[in-house]
């Protein structure tokens, strides 16, 4: 649609949201035509860098409104232009940030349609962009600029899936010598940072990773891992492997070393935390949590080992000891539960495009309902009966977050136990914390009682389908083409989905509404601000959830009508 610049400027002054549907197409065509004309004039002019921010500002607004209108060819061309500009050495920092931000927005608008085979990027370009060149261009003074590297890492997280599989060998050859040298002589902090930043770790690339460098990492772990800092870095790296390549590594032979490291870090060398946990400690706990949770497979010994470990940790970190490392312990519990929820979302979701891009998860290693029950049974008594009464405010926030996860996973186990503790607290007026703390836990977890908060990622063509249903042709499919019907759930997949969703629901919990209201109303004490705020928050979440439930058809959301869940007897 050829429009003059004057027409584009006239439409550009109109409200960008344009509530009139018949004008949206005209505005989108005019805006895109204006942006393309501006690009052409800008490239032909001599003021490229000075005017580029204004063009990117207009392009960002267009992407936010009409990013899905781009053709695949336009998407690829714009991505290549933004990356080549943003990764240019000696570019102004603000302009580089704006350019890379546009590149990230472009990928978000085509994340599920652009395949790695359609866009091939060179990892070396990103690596070279992190090297600061001196004014004399003397290569002897080149060094890695940390500020540039952090900026590039933000784009690497989303763009490294477009690196070819062959880059894994090239990246390892580039950093292998420095990794071995640092493993032997130190320092160990950030030893694998460049390796993990550039390597696309996913199911589709695991075979190449296993062939090239995974064996070397295990060799370093067992041979040179006498220092604690190297062990921490390896745990973080192996945690990434466990999370992004589930079911591909047999963790059973390495569990002794993992739990020995846990006992050393949690019991012997536990850090005294006065404020927030450092990023390095959080990364360490995340690595441990990923290895343990993703290591739970059939015939695994992870859960029995965890049960024995937490019997020891429950005594060491009891609130009566007032341990200075309490935040370290409850944060580990929180990491375990958050990784467990993430794993359930991954295994219960079914999206063919995601499987095509990142690889299909193996079905043999999926976690069972009984295994989730065991994890909840290990952590629920520690969090609800002991750690909830800690004197440290930051530790309390982490414990309340743990209880929210536990209510999300197993409300039928969590809610009766919480209400019993809360009602018992009202009978002990000399112990006000026995009422205040359970009320705070109830306020945070009330939303899980009235609704299923475990969001799943399903393809629109698979939601709510039954065997024998016809899959309608989309507008993009030609009438003569044979439609590719998505594969229906197998009986095993169907049983797996039903069993887990049924365990997340607590239909009989509606009978507990009276008890919850009684406890919340009893907690409306104007003389205790914490108790009052928790009671009001719980009442707001409960009443809002019930009102929404009463005005909603049962199983009205697409895809949930296939579950046909019945109330528990």
Residue with tokens 């705020």: 533
Residues with pLDDT less than 70, the chain? 1-22, 46-49, 131-150, 226-227, 353, 357-358, 455-489, 545-569
Q: Is 78 exposed, middle or buried (0-12, 13-18, 19+ CB in 10 A)?
A: buried
Q: What is the pLDDT of residue 323?
A: 82
State how far the Cα of 39 lies from the Cα of 393, in Å rounded to an integer: 54
Q: What is the pLDDT of residue 420?
A: 92
250: in domain? no
Q: What is the pLDDT of residue 462?
A: 47
330: in domain? no
State how far the Cα of 505 lies from the Cα of 148, in Å rounded to an integer: 48
Q: What is the pLDDT of residue 524?
A: 86
CB 288 within 8 A of CB 235: yes
Closest-CA residue to 63 (of 18, 103, 11): 103
218: in domain? no
- pTM over 0.75? The answer is yes
Q: What is the pLDDT of residue 560?
A: 39
CB 162 within 8 A of CB 116: yes
Q: What is the pLDDT of residue 49?
A: 66
Structure-block tokens of residue 116? 């790695």
State how far the Cα of 335 lies from the Cα of 288, in Å rounded to an integer: 9
172: in domain? no
339: in domain? no
CB 447 within 8 A of CB 453: yes
122: in domain? yes
* Cα separation of the two ends of the chain: 64
Residue 524 structural domain = 410-453+492-551
State how far the Cα of 120 lies from the Cα of 115, in Å rounded to an integer: 9
Task: Please state, in angstroms and as integers, the Cα–Cα distance from residue 368 to each residue in 127, 234, 236, 347, following that order.
Answer: 42, 28, 26, 11
Q: What is the pLDDT of residue 294?
A: 96
Count up the domains in the chain and report the number.
2
CB 74 within 8 A of CB 117: no
Crossing angle (nearest 10°) for helices 255-263 and 302-316: 10
Q: What is the pLDDT of residue 548?
A: 52
Q: What is the pLDDT of residue 355?
A: 72
């Amino acid at each position: 649609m050829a429009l003059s610049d004057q027409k584009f400027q006239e439409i550009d002054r109109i409200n960008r949201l344009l509530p009139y549907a018949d004008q949206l197409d005209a505005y989108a065509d005019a805006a895109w035509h204006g942006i393309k004309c501006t690009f052409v004039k800008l490239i032909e002019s001599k003021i490229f860098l000075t005017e580029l921010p204004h063009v990117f500002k207009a392009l960002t607004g267009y992407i936010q409104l009409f990013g899905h209108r781009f053709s695949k060819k336009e998407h690829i061309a714009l991505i290549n232009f933004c990356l080549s500009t943003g990764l240019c050495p000696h570019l102004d920092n603000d302009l580089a940030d704006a350019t890379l931000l546009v590149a990230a927005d472009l990928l978000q608008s085509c994340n599920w349609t652009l395949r790695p085979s359609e866009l091939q990027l060179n990892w070396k370009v990103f690596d070279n962009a992190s090297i600061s060149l001196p004014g004399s261009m003397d290569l002897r003074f080149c060094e890695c600029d940390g500020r540039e590297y952090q900026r590039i890492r933000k784009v690497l997280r989303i763009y490294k899936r477009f690196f070819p599989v062959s880059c894994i060998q090239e990246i390892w050859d580039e950093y292998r010598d420095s990794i071995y040298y640092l493993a032997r002589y130190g320092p160990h902090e950030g030893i694998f940072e460049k390796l993990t930043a550039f390597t696309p770790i996913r199911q589709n690339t695991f075979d190449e990773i296993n062939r090239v460098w995974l064996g070397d990492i295990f060799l370093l772990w067992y041979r040179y891992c006498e220092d604690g800092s190297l062990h921490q870095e390896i745990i973080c790296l192996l945690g990434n492997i466990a999370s992004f390549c589930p079911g591909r590594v047999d963790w059973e032979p390495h569990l002794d070393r993992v739990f020995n490291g846990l006992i050393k870090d949690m019991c012997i060398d536990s850090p005294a935390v006065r404020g927030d946990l450092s990023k390095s400690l959080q990364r360490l706990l995340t690595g441990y949590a990923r290895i343990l949770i993703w290591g739970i497979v059939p015939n695994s010994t992870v859960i029995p080992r965890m049960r024995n470990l937490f019997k020891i940790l429950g005594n060491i970190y009891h609130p009566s000891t007032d341990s200075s490392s309490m935040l370290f312990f409850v944060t580990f519990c929180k990491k375990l539960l958050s990784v467990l929820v993430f794993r359930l979302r991954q295994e219960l979701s079914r999206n063919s495009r995601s499987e095509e891009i990142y690889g299909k998860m193996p079905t043999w290693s999926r976690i069972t309902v009984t295994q989730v029950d065991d994890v909840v049974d290990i952590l629920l008594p520690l969090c609800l009966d002991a750690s909830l009464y800690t004197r440290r405010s930051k530790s309390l926030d982490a414990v309340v977050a743990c209880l929210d996860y536990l209510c999300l996973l197993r409300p039928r186990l969590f809610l009766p136990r919480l209400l019993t503790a809360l009602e018992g607290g009202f009978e002990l007026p000399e112990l006000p914390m026995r009422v205040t703390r359970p009320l705070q836990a109830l306020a945070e977890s009330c939303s899980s009682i009235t609704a299923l908060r475990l969001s799943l990622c399903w393809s629109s063509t698979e939601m709510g389908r039954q065997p024998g249903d016809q899959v309608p042709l989309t507008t993009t499919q030609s009438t003569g083409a044979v439609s590719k019907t998505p594969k229906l759930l197998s009986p095993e997949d169907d049983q797996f989905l039903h069993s887990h969703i049924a365990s997340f629901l607590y239909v009989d919990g509606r009978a507990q509404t009276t008890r919850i209201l009684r406890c919340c109303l009893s907690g409306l004490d104007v003389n205790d601000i914490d108790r009052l705020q928790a009671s009001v928050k719980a009442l707001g979440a409960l009443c809002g959830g019930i009102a929404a439930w009463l005005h909603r058809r049962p199983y009205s959301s697409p895809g949930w009508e296939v579950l046909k869940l019945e109330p528990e007897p």
